[in-house]
């Protein structure tokens, strides 16, 4: 029986990125598995329908079924939930990828193989950077700030992200609003959802072979963007951990780790001024990771989406 998969894309005013992503999905290949039935669902979060010309230009020659709809309510959670509503109720898996990414040719096959081998509810994988700037600053390369996470395939994870994840459809189909609309303008809606599944006993597995490439614009290669991303990321993780694992022991560990990050960063700050910009950025990142952890723990939420602007 042919496996049915819905690849869900939430997009907002990135027509070039969307076209690039759809080209990558059109080029997906299968060597160990029979090609599944695939539908690609585009939820356009621009009420003016700026993604529709891309959809219309691609659809006539697209290898897979292509579905398009507009979600006029602004906010990433509304778009993600719309993509799930647009998807077929017969889909066995939902797969998430972002509109500034492109999958490797065997990306989907490796996700499916990993899910089958480890009997996972959710499979997630690495996101490898592709820099849009013609010259990447030396301090960015030395610092490895955009290097992908590295784990052994099969490693059990406590969270996943919508930039590269496969999930069994029944996990989401029974929920009225899988992505919490209260996070529409904060981000971290995926952290919240997948941490919830993990807390409820869902098995999340890492697949190092399931690679997608993320295009990094030049304006992200700044210390401010990096510290913001770490602050909001650690804040989101801390807050969701508190929400789904509210034990005093875990919260005490989080306080200790946050404080240690701040102390370590402050200790590295002066050497960082002398050893180069990448060392300075690393020191500041430790400080902001600690501050983010504490802010999430004590519910000082701020704007989690700020680091992505």
- Mean predicted confidence (pLDDT) in 186-199: 92
Q: Dump pLDDT digits (tens) for 230-243.
A: 999 999 889 899 99
| HEC string for the chain | CCCEEEEEEEECCCHHHHHHHHHHHHCCCCCCCCCCEEEEEEEECCCCCCCHHHHHHHHHHCCCEEEEEECCCCCHHHHHHHHHHHCCCCCCEEEECCCCEEECCCHHHHHHHHHHHHCCCEEECCEEEEECCCCCCHHHHHHCCCCCCCCCCCCEECCCCCCCEEEEHHHHHCCCCCCCHHHCCCCCHHHHHHHHHHHCCCCEEECCCCCEEEEECHHHCCHHHHHHHHHHHHHHHHHHHHHHCCCHHHHHHHHHHHHHHHHHHHHHHHHHHHHCHHHHHHHHHHHHHHHHHHHHHCCCCCCHHHHHC
Does the pLDDT value for residue 309 go beyond 50?
A: no
Would you state the pLDDT for residue 299? 77
Summarised one tens digit per residue, pLDDT across range 169-190 is 999 998 989 999 888 777 789 9
What is the band of 305 on the pLDDT scale with cuts at 50, 70, 90? very low
pLDDT at 303 over 60: no
Residue 20: band (very low, low, confident or very high) from pLDDT cuts 50, 70, 90: very high
Q: What CATH number is given for 4-221 in this structure?
A: 3.90.550.10
pLDDT the model gives residue 184: 79
Across 39-43, average pLDDT: 98
pLDDT at residue 1, rounded to an integer = 82
What pLDDT was estimated at residue 301?
57
> Which residue ranges make up each domain of the chain?
4-221, 224-308
Q: Span 115-127, mean pLDDT?
A: 98
Mean pLDDT for 129-141 is 94
Q: Is the pLDDT of residue 291 over 60?
A: yes
Q: Does pLDDT of 308 surpass 60?
A: no
How much is the average pLDDT of 86-95?
A: 97
pLDDT, mean of residues 71-94: 96
């Amino acid at each position: 029986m042919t496996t049915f998969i819905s690849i869900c894309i939430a997009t907002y005013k990135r027509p070039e990125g969307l076209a690039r992503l759809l080209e990558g999905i059109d080029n997906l290949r299968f060597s160990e598995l029979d090609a599944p039935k695939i539908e690609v669902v585009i939820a356009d979060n621009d009420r003016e329908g700026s993604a529709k010309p891309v959809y219309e230009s691609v659809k006539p020659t697209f290898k897979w079924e292509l579905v398009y709809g507009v979600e006029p309510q602004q906010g990433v959670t509304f778009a993600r939930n719309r993509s799930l509503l647009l998807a077929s109720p017969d889909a066995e898996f939902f797969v998430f990828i972002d509109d500034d990414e492109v999958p490797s040719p065997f990306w989907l096959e490796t996700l499916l193989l990993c899910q089958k081998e480890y009997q996972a509810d959710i499979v997630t994988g690495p996101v490898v950077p592709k820099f849009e700037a013609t010259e990447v600053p030396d301090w960015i390369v030395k610092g490895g700030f955009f290097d992908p996470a590295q784990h052994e395939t099969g490693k059990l994870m406590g969270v996943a992200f919508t930039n590269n994840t496969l999930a069994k459809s029944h996990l989401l189909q029974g929920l009225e609003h899988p992505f919490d609309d209260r996070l529409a303008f904060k981000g971290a809606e995926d952290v919240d959802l997948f941490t919830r599944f993990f807390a409820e006993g869902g098995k999340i597995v890492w697949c190092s072979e399931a690679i997608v490439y993320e295009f990094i614009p030049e304006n992200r290669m700044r210390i401010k963007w990096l510290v913001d991303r770490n602050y909001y990321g650690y804040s989101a993780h801390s807050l969701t951990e508190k929400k789904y694992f509210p034990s005093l022991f875990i919260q005490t560990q989080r306080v200790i780790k946050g404080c240690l990050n701040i102390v370590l960063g402050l200790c590295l700050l002066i050497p960082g001024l002398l050893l180069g910009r990448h060392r300075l950025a690393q020191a500041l990142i430790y400080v902001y990771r600690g501050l983010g952890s504490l802010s999430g723990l004590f519910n000082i939420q701020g704007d989690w989406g700020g680091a992505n602007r």
